[in-house]
Amino acid sequence: MYDLHSHSHCSDGELAPAALVERAAGRGVKVLALSDHDSLGGLVEAGKAAADHGLTLVPAVEISCGWEQLEIHVVGLGVTATDEGLQTGLAAQQARRWRRAEAIDAKLGKDGAVDVLDELKRRFPAAAPTRSLFAQLLVERGLVRDHERAFARYLGRKGSAYVAPEWCSLAEGIGWIRAAGGVPVLAHPGRYGLSGSALERLLDAFVAAGGQALELSYPQLFPKEAQRLARFARVRGLWASQGSDFHSPRQHWTELGKMPPLPPEVIKVWEARPELFALPATPFSEPSNMAQDAQA
Ligand code: AMP
Ligand code: MN
Ligand code: MN
Ligand code: MN
């Protein structure tokens, strides 16, 4: 069983990388990609745990990219985590995240929710700030009932603390992934609220920039929509990927290894690039510059 999209506490996931890998192994996952938002920080720990559990850990990352006023998520599968260009690019993304978080924090403060970013740093010391962590704290403070309302009232496009992001372009994100030897995958294509023709334009831009695969199976993607997406993929020669996008055991609608079957007649990314999904020939070792990353 392949689960090629998941998060640890190095971004907005709840579990530490080792606990995530252990849970995946317990659910029958044999090949797991850890794809934290704009971060490679969990890969060393996850790689060690994977070796202990006889599971293949695919080093990955989910990059937030800007395209026509939208935020598009691109998962890079099988990236070389020590690649300097990728590391530099992700460091710039992290800096953008912190700048945005400061601006969100200031707006929240004016709207009666003070010092949320300080609390976020204390509570999630391994993480870079994402809006979902802000949402969790706003819920815990009793200011809103749930995540959805936190986005509607504060953090989403129409919220009082909305700050437009300044992510890298689609072409930049894809370029970093390709240069680091990875496969760029357009994540959850059904979640951008795009009509058929806009989605086709996005796919054309994605392919033109060097994108190679499309997620065609993830929770809440209905078979009919998957079949339509599979047609879009086939005519563009895109491979298929699948992933749970697991964040937390408390989100009962996602679970590691749990997703619908892929639509028929698609080329699976692990068939197209088998070397990226095999058990490593040598046990996972710790490159010195990654160890520093994990502590940063
Ligand atoms: P960020 O990368 O800081 O913009 O945060 C994006 C994350 O917030 C996504 O990965 C989702 O987990 C979450 N998110 C975005 N929009 C919503 C929404 N409307 N409701 C709930 N969660 C959301
Ligand atoms: Mn997330
Ligand atoms: Mn995403
Ligand atoms: Mn994700």
How far is Cα 22 from Cα 53, in angstroms, rounded to an integer?
Answer: 7
pLDDT at 25: 98
Residues of the chain with pLDDT under 70: 281-296
pLDDT at 107: 98
DSSP 8-class letter at 155: I
Give 66-93 pLDDT, tens digit per residue: 999 999 999 999 999 999 999 999 999 9
The secondary structure of 178-211, three-state, reads: HHCCCEEEECCHHHCCCCHHHHHHHHHHHHHCCC
Nearest CA to ligand 1 atom 13: 132
Go through the chain and tell me how many residues it has: 296
Under 8 Å between Cβ of 193 and 222: no
Tell whether ligand 1 has an atom less than 6 A from the beta carbon of residue 130. yes
pLDDT at 190: 95
Number of the ligand 1 atom closest to the C-alpha atom of 38? 2
Give how far Cα 103 sits from Cα of 93, 160, 169, 171, Å.
15, 12, 21, 26
pLDDT at 43: 97
Total-model pTM: 0.94
How far is Cα 16 from Cα 42, in angstroms, rounded to an integer?
Answer: 8
Tell whether ligand 1 has an atom less than 6 A from the beta carbon of residue 35. no
Number of the ligand 1 atom closest to the C-alpha atom of 148? 20
Gap from CA of 238 to ligand 1 centroid (Å) = 26
pLDDT at 105: 98
pLDDT at 279: 79
Tell whether ligand 1 has an atom less than 6 A from the beta carbon of residue 153. no
Nearest CA to ligand 1 atom 12: 132
Nearest CA to ligand 1 atom 17: 151
Q: Which of 7, 98, 131 to mutate to test the pocket of ligand 1 (most atoms within 8 A of CB)?
A: 131
